[in-house]
Amino acid sequence: MLALLFACEDAYRNKSHASVSEQSIKEGRILAAKYCISCHALPDPAWLDSKSWEKGVLPAMGPLLGIFEHNFQDYPSSKNDQYLDKNFYPSQPLLNRSQWQNIIDYYSATSPDTLIRQQRQDKIEMELPLFAVQTPAGSYLNATTSFIKINPTGIAQSLVISDALKKRTYLFNKELLMTDSFLNDGPVVDIEFGQNGMLACNIGVLNPNNGKFGKGNFINKLANGKYEEKKLPMLDSLQRPVQLLSADFNRDGKMDYLICEFGFVTGALSWMEGTENNGFKRHVLRPLPGAIKAYIQDHNKDGAPDIWVLFGQGDEGIFLFTNKGDGNFIEEKLLSFPSVYGSSSFELIDFNKDGYADIIYTCGDNADYSPVLKPYHGVYLFMNDGSNHFEQKFFFAINGCYKALARDYDNDGDLDIATISFFADFKNEPEESFVYLKNTGSFKFKPYSLPESTIGRWLTMDAGDIDGDGDIDLVLGNFFIGPGILKSKIDWSKSPPFILLKNAIK
């Protein structure tokens, strides 16, 4: 794509920037190849429209090069952010104003005025032949469901949800009646379940920031079956953590914890080594922001837990950290995605049952510096050749896709895919908010969605057997606030905090 762009630059020239000189474009291309790759792979101008480059992405990237003002607009640079090291940004610009203008000219003049709309071979059918929609009882107001999970430890409390603004976790039985609730120290975005309680991942502050307000709070299961969060956090001073996982990484008999600190302009993937007297020692695996989803799996069968993780910020991609013993890991990048994709989730699953982990991946985070509909947003399937080399076998376009879960929902022996979108094209294609992709064989899928009256702004989703009848149900969590490109006519604040898609196959 880049070779074609550079060879035929006049054909790609943005008409509104026709006055930009060829020399400026040429020098900007050279400078971009030198400076932009310091943080991520070289971006292609065709990935975004000219306005997004000129008014959003480049002003946001400028501070990383020591540039805090330019000709186009003032942009909040976080130069005086009290939570950043005073030497985080360069003390002097790495290039002069003319060079910076050349980079802006290159991206704004050679990018399209608008991105092409998404193209789908198959129309999404507005029906769900396999599932029955159920909602919890009661009145609803301002649901901000930041976490939802079908409890894997038993069906006494079948469903657990957390509300970010209310800072409260609720438990429901299989009839969707609330059985318990308890306060949290902050917005909970992930929970790891155990027999004696839960470990809650408290992000601290939802909005992007560089502070260390996040925590890992243990929730005790009391003798009467109720739950209560401990007053003192087990882990604290975390930078917008989005996931906590437990494992004995160094095999010393003490429990360790993996932390995905998504952060903002800073963040990290770390593991906390359990020490004497219930203390922890931090080991940073990757000192960069964007760690959003991880799996712990012994992929090489040597008895030591390895780590698969998706980074969705800057240098986006899926990485494998192979455990070499004594807490040492070797990092390998398995899949790389453009820095504008907005990677949102992935799932490790053996899709073709050959004994190797394949990858379901979604991209669709659209809240940053280029909030336009993007043709590459959607759900992807990458197949493993047995040596951790992955080939894309399927893509289905979904604006703002946020999560996908592959399961055999229809019990026919192959895997189907359920997806949600937080940044769907709600004005023109509201059916994108939930798409059920039924596997019809040979990497082909038939898409279905919910009736429009039940469409919500789904931030989180889980799959599991909520009622113990042997088939796989789905739950979708509604988060009514947040930035959006095209607003829905539905008032999500009056929608239920979640809906259950009860599998009716049995």
Three-class secondary structure of residue 214 per DSSP:
strand
Mean pLDDT of the chain: 91
Confidence (pLDDT) at 4: 36
Q: Which two tokens stand for residue 199?
A: 């470990």
Confidence (pLDDT) at 84: 92
| Nearest residue to 51 (alpha-carbon basis) of 72, 20, 76, 77 | 72
| Confidence class for position 323, pLDDT limits 50, 70, 90 | very high
For residues 339 and 40, the answer to whether their CB atoms sit within 8 Å is yes
For residues 157 and 180, the answer to whether their CB atoms sit within 8 Å is yes
202 strand-pairing partners = 188, 215
Confidence (pLDDT) at 139: 75
pLDDT digits (tens, 9 = 90+) for 144-198: 999 999 988 766 668 999 999 999 999 999 999 999 999 999 999 999 998 788 9
Strands of 241-247's sheet in order across: 241-247, 256-261, 268-274, 280-286
pLDDT digits (tens, 9 = 90+) for 51-109: 999 999 999 899 899 988 744 344 445 677 889 998 999 989 999 999 999 999 999 99
Of residues 161 and 12, more confidence is placed in: 161
| Confidence class for position 9, pLDDT limits 50, 70, 90 | very low
| Nearest residue to 73 (alpha-carbon basis) of 91, 92, 54, 89 | 54
Of residues 86 and 270, more confidence is placed in: 270
For residues 416 and 409, the answer to whether their CB atoms sit within 8 Å is yes
Q: What is the CA radius of gyration of the chain?
A: 23
Amino acid residing at 203: I
Distance CA 398, CA 401 (A): 6
For residues 102 and 31, the answer to whether their CB atoms sit within 8 Å is yes
% residues pLDDT > 70 (the chain): 93
pLDDT mean over 423-437? 93
| Nearest residue to 177 (alpha-carbon basis) of 226, 137, 130 | 137
Distance CA 242, CA 383 (A): 27
Q: How far is CA 136 from the centre of its chain?
A: 27
pLDDT digits (tens, 9 = 90+) for 465-494: 999 899 999 999 999 988 776 667 778 888
* Residue 151, number of CB atoms within 10 A of its CB: 19
Three-class secondary structure of residue 313 per DSSP:
coil
> What angle, rounded to 10 degrees, do the helices at 97-110 and 22-35 form?
100
Q: Which two tokens stand for residue 474?
A: 């789905």
Q: Which two tokens stand for residue 485?
A: 């490109």
Confidence (pLDDT) at 76: 46
Q: What is the DSSP string of 114-160?
A: SPPPP--SSPPBS--SSEEEE--SS-----BEEEEEE-TT-STT-EE
pLDDT mean over 14-28? 84
Confidence (pLDDT) at 19: 81
Q: Which two tokens stand for residue 169?
A: 């976790």
Close Cβ partners of 306 (under 8 Å, ≥ 6 residues apart):
296, 297, 298, 299, 300, 320, 321, 322, 323, 329
% residues pLDDT > 90 (the chain): 75
Distance CA 45, CA 338 (A): 11
| Confidence class for position 459, pLDDT limits 50, 70, 90 | very high
If you ran DSSP here, which 8-state letter would residue 57 be given? Answer: I
Residue ranges with strand state E in 143-185 = 145-150, 159-163, 168-172, 178-183
Three-class secondary structure of residue 171 per DSSP:
strand
| Confidence class for position 138, pLDDT limits 50, 70, 90 | confident
Close Cβ partners of 264 (under 8 Å, ≥ 6 residues apart):
208, 209, 210, 239, 240, 289
Distance CA 169, CA 161 (A): 6
pTM of the model: 0.93
pLDDT mean over 237-263? 96
Distance CA 3, CA 355 (A): 38
Any long-range contacts for 173-179 (C-beta under 8 Å, 24+ apart)? 174/466, 174/467, 174/468, 176/134, 176/135, 176/136, 176/137, 176/500, 177/136, 177/137, 178/136
For residues 327 and 334, the answer to whether their CB atoms sit within 8 Å is no
Confidence (pLDDT) at 156: 62
Distance CA 221, CA 226 (A): 6
| Nearest residue to 337 (alpha-carbon basis) of 377, 304, 279 | 377
Q: How far is CA 436 from the centre of its chain?
A: 19
Amino acid residing at 436: Y
Distance CA 260, CA 288 (A): 10
